[in-house]
Amino acid sequence: MQKRRFNLHTILEKRVLTDSTFVLRLEHNGLEFTAGQHIQVGPPNGIHTREYSIYSAPTDDFIEILVREIEDGVVTPALKKLEAGDSVVVNDAVGYFTIDKEVAEGKQFLFVASGTGISPFHSFVKAFPSLNYTLVHGIRFAEEAYERHHYEPSRYVACTSRDEKGDFHGRVTDWLTQNPLNNDTLCYLCGNCDMIHDVYDILEKQGVSSKNIFTEVYF
Amino acid sequence: MKVAFKTLGCRLNQYETDALAAQFSGNGYEVSEQEEGADVVVVNTCTVTNQSNQKSRYVISHAGRINPGAKMVITGCMAESHAEQLQKKFPEATVINNKGKSGIFHSVDSLIKTGNADLSDKDFDLFSYQSFTEMFHTRSLIKIQDGCDNFCTFCIIPFVRGRAISRPVEQVLQNIREVVAKGAREIVLTGVNISRYESDGVKFSGLVDKILNLEGDFRVRISSIEPDRFDDHFFTLIGHPKLAPHLHLCLQSGSERILLQMRRMYTVKDFMEIVDRVRAVDPKFNFTTDVIVGFPGETEEEFEETMAVARKVGFGHMHIFKYSVRQNTRAQRMADHIPDKVKTERSKRMHALAEELTANYRAPFDNTEQRILVEKWSDGVASGYNDYFVPMQFTSVNKKRNRFEVVQARVKDFEEA
């Protein structure tokens, strides 16, 4: 039980979202996890894996991850070539970017994501259907608003920096500056380091205690 | 039959070596930390940095040169991460991973009695080490947890120690009752990531509270701890007469950006808040720490931020590591690795600051009355650590070790800053 163990999971389906982004649906294989945790995934015949926050909910009878291809990458181009019926290696779920069941009810949540950093929030929203949240998603183009129909329209804000087809033209930092929040909001930030760094500063200036800010860095 | 133990790395390794040595001793073996004359040499390795690997290899080779006839057993984190390489380099050695470490007595016992190490698939418990006191250390190390799920981007430990697991509360308490009954005066709580302790609904602060309420004349020291899960309950324990006023609180960097890149789960502000809350109760409270210099992308300004935090806290001691690449960690793939020359230069500056801060912290304790746990006696001088983990010494005719003495004492090897 102590040593990390990799298991083979068959791919059930691949959903292509954009030219570079896709969702891999994997067989569940009894993988236990809490919404917000991440796994390491890699092609079956290689030694390399990458970390992915789980996109699906613990109650789903499958596991999903949201993958963006890195052109010169070692793992993602190989994952992109895989199809339903192929396998990937997956290790145990780990991580502390989670929501306590007890606090999920009755609290206001702010989720701030950049790019595929939306994954854990997708899992949260599926895992806690009555969650009172606002999801602010930083992307370049509106087409990167991955599966936005999974979220209540009034709760999802696509902040597009390179086109004006989103809900807000600008960066998530601009949106947050223009939309200050209650300082007892629980704030979850997931995405690149610079976004988290800048958003953290804004939230603290708005009076949010660091105890109420949770981060998951994507690289 | 004599078994020698060579130990590298962390307190957890020290605990595991002490426990194994106690098991051998209890079964009639002579145990030692010197390899001369030993029939078996057990090397408990470390792999946390490149230097740890080099040291581990050196210790194995050196032991083999000094005592070529001894059977060699290699265990620990390097045996986990570099098993094949070690086996290839030392073909006569028996390599045992961390999972099998607690079963080393059975392996070696069968090695001696039958010529073959029993390496069957026995599922040894990570906590199935026996209770002991006064083996190679006066302080009684108690393992409360193993493994880590934090996956800091620089760190190989989750890959070699496995998933986080906590020892059941009652097992910990029973272990402490036993060592206290055997005379232990200082309990040191050890593990890979003890702030994440959680068992039977009891978190770290709850466990410490229960330990402090055990009967006996002992003090509790918390060893290395991450600053990412301190609850209000913990702060209520500060000032408890049995809790040593010292934390080895791992900072790693004083730059918020670097902490994010390291995927540490706290901010500099969080770190300082812990320091301030604790020092509000006890202004002399000793904070020691670990710092990494030259993490990929660390700028001169970010390095200076770490220096500034160190000055602000006034650390009593600092372990300073030059960043070294660990295979398959996220930081290995990061851009802007810092040239070794720059890392060395920053390390020197940090060491100079650390020396200054240590001297500053210790100065007020010199020539004052302190409670000291005597660990050594030599030529009429007894020495050991006070409650604040400051090394002290005093003249004494009493040669007895492992005793508390409240006495006017000097800071050991003290020189005015």
Check CB contact under 8 Å for A200 and B267. yes
Distance from CA of A152 to the nearest CA of B (A): 30
Beta carbons of B147 and A2 less than 8 Å apart: yes
Domain count, chain A: 2
Of B146, B265, B334, the CB nearest to A96: B265
CA distances from B334 to B296, B297, B298, B306, B328 (A): 7, 8, 11, 20, 11
Contact B257 A94 (CB under 8 A): no
Q: Which of A137, A104, A116 is nearest to A38 (CA)?
A: A116
- Domain coverage including residue A191: 101-218
The whole-number pLDDT of residue B133 equals 64
Equal fold, B2-114 vs B138-246? no
B191 touches chain A (CB under 8 A): no
| Cα four-point dihedral sign A24, A25, A28, A32 | positive
Same domain, A79 and A133: no
Q: Which of 85-114 (A) contact B at CB < 8 A?
A: 92, 94-96
- Best mutation target among B255, B333, B334, B336 (most A Cβ atoms within 10 Å) is B333
Nearest one of A51, A53, A58 to A37, comparing CA atoms: A53
Q: Are residues A42 and A143 in the same domain?
A: no
For residue B109, the model assigns a pLDDT of 87
> Is some CB atom of chain A closer than 8 A to the CB atom of B163?
yes
Name which of B99, B257, B273 is nearest A2 (Cβ-Cβ).
Answer: B99
Q: Is A2 close to B260, i.e. CB distance below 8 A?
A: no
* A193 vs B126, B260, B333: nearest CB: B260
Asked whether residue A162 is domain-assigned, the answer is yes
Of A36, A57, A90, the domain-final residue: A90
Residue A117 and residue A213 in one domain = yes
Query: Has residue A96 been placed in a domain?
Result: no
- Structural domain contains residue A121: yes
Is residue B188 within 8 A of residue B221, CB to CB? The reply is yes
Please tell me which of the candidates B158, B269, B333 has its beta carbon nearest to residue A210: B269
**Residue in A closest to B127 by C-alpha:** A2
Q: What is the CATH number of the domain that holds A52?
A: 2.40.30.10
Q: Domain B138-246 class?
A: alpha beta
Fold of B2-114: Rossmann fold (3.40.50)
- Whether A1 is covered by a domain: the verdict is no
Average pLDDT over every residue of A190-213: 95
Residues A84 and A157 in one domain: no
Please give the average per-residue pLDDT across A18-38, as a whole number: 96
Q: Is the same domain home to A80 and A188? A: no
Q: Do A200 and B99 touch (CB under 8 A)?
A: no
Element spanning A184, H or E = none
Question: Are the beta carbons of A200 and B256 separated by less than 8 Å?
Answer: yes
Specify if A95 maps to a domain.
no
Q: Using the beta-carbon criterion (under 8 Å), do B149 and A94 form an inter-chain contact?
A: yes
A213/A113 same-domain check: yes
For A85-120, the pLDDT digits (tens) are: 999 999 999 999 999 988 888 899 999 999 999 999
Read off the pLDDT of residues A130-171 as tens digits, 9 standing for 90 and up.
Answer: 999 999 999 999 999 999 999 999 999 999 999 999 999 999
Is the model's pLDDT at A4 over the cut of 50? no
Closest in B99, B270, B330 to A219, CB measured = B330
| Token pair for B248 | 């080895």
Which residues on chain A are in Cβ contact (under 8 Å) with B126?
2
Nearest CA in chain A to B273: A210
Do A38 and A126 share a structural domain? no
Quote the pTM value: 0.89
Tell me the average confidence (pLDDT) per consecutive run of 10 residues in chain B, 417 residues long. 92 89 90 90 92 93 89 92 91 88 87 74 66 70 93 92 93 94 93 95 97 96 92 96 97 97 95 98 98 98 98 98 93 95 98 97 97 95 97 96 95 75
Closest CB from A3, A193, A219 relative to B162 = A3
Using an 8 Å CB-CB cutoff, list chain B residues near A210.
267, 269-270, 273
Task: Give the end of a domain, one of A90, A123, A152.
Answer: A90
SS3 content of chain A, % helix, strand, coil (to 5): 25, 35, 40
List, as one string, the DSSP characters of A40-91. EEE-TT-S--EEEEB-S-TTSSEEEEEEE--TT-SSHHHHHH--TT-EEEE-
pLDDT at residue A205 greater than cutoff 50: yes
- Closest by CA to A114, choosing from A158, A67, A63, is A158
Residues of B in contact with A196 (CB under 8 A): 260
ipTM of this predicted complex? 0.89
What's at B190, amino acid-wise?
A: T
Among the partner residues A92, A94, A197, nearest to B256 by beta-carbon distance: A197
Do A197 and A105 lie in one domain? The reply is yes
pLDDT of residue A1 exceeding 60: no
CB contact, 8 Å: B335 with chain A? Answer: no
Q: Classify residue A148: in a domain, yes or no.
A: yes
CATH code for residues B250-362: 3.30.750.200
Distance (Å, rounded) from C-alpha A41 to C-alpha A75? 9
Per the CB < 8 Å rule, is B267 touching A1?
Answer: no
Domain annotation covers residue A2: no
Q: Is residue A117 situated within a structural domain?
A: yes
The reply to whether A147 and A66 lie within a common domain is no
Region A24-46 average pLDDT? 94
Q: Do B163 and A215 touch (CB under 8 A)?
A: no
Residue at which a domain ends, from A67, A90, A113: A90
Please give the residue of chain B at the shortest CA–CA distance from A189.
Answer: B260
pLDDT of residue B194: 96
Is the domain of A168 the same as that of A129? Answer: yes
Neighbours of B342 (CB within 10 A): 15
Dist CA B173 CA B377 (whole Å): 31
A165 with A199, same domain: the answer is yes
Nearest CA among A179, A192, A186, A191 for reference residue A209: A186
* Residue ranges per structural domain of chain B: 2-114, 138-246, 250-362, 366-411
Q: In chain B, whose CA is at the least distance from the CA of A204?
A: B269
Give the nearest chain B residue to A37 (CA atoms): B149
Residues of A in contact with B257 (CB under 8 A): 193, 197
Confidence (pLDDT) at B328: 85
The alpha carbons of chain A give a radius of gyration, in whole angstroms, of: 17
Task: Please tell me if residue B162 touches chain A, with a CB cutoff of 8 Å.
Answer: yes
- Are both A126 and A205 inside the same structural domain? yes
